[in-house]
Amino acid sequence: MSDALLKRLQKLAGAGALVSKERFETGNAAHVDRAAAALLERFYRENDTAAFELLVEIGQPLLGEAALQITREVGLAIAPGELVADYFSKLFVDLRQPTPKIGNLTADAVASMKEGAARRVRIMARRIRSPEETVGAVAAEPGAPPVE
């Protein structure tokens, strides 16, 4: 990790939000979670987009790996980055008051991405029906012509 990233983290998240003042590992969930909580709080409190950008930067590697694993588990044919982007989009536009506190970004993100992947699989399953199911569904609709 670069010294520039460490300095940006110290400036935006505060030295107290870092597990170590000498290093920050984007692959270490404890490092990411602690800094992410401070950055997200700053973003919500001060509308500081630089804090959010840094949150995305430090969270992307770890969440990208988790999203890749999720897409493999459910057999979802989408780019793992889409799940990560959806998660960060939800954080960015969250207007609940008081703003939510997320102490464990990686666990929250994984749960959200799993839910999003499962939802996409359900939607795809509804779209991909056998012809018999499709005919039966049409025949069961009120006012549909009788099926012969």
- Encode pLDDT of 124-145 as tens digits: 777 776 556 655 554 455 555 5
Lowest mean pLDDT among 99-103, 121-125, 138-142: 138-142
CA angle 87, 91, 92 (to 5 degrees): 115
Give me the mean pLDDT over the 5-20 stretch: 88
Residue 19 pLDDT greater than 90, yes or no: no
Give me the mean pLDDT over the 60-83 stretch: 90
Contact 117, 70 (CB under 8 A): yes
Residue 96 pLDDT greater than 90, yes or no: no
Q: Please state, in angstroms and rounded to a whole number, the distance separating the CA atoms of residues 1 and 6.
A: 8
Phi, psi values for residue 116, rounded to 5°: -65, -40
Confidence of residue 4 (pLDDT cuts 50, 70, 90): confident
Bigger pLDDT: 140 vs 97? 97
Q: pTM of the prediction?
A: 0.75
Give me the mean pLDDT over the 76-86 stretch: 87
Which amino acid is present at 130?
S
Residues 6+ positions from 70 with CB-CB distance below 8 Å: 76, 80, 83, 110, 113, 114, 117
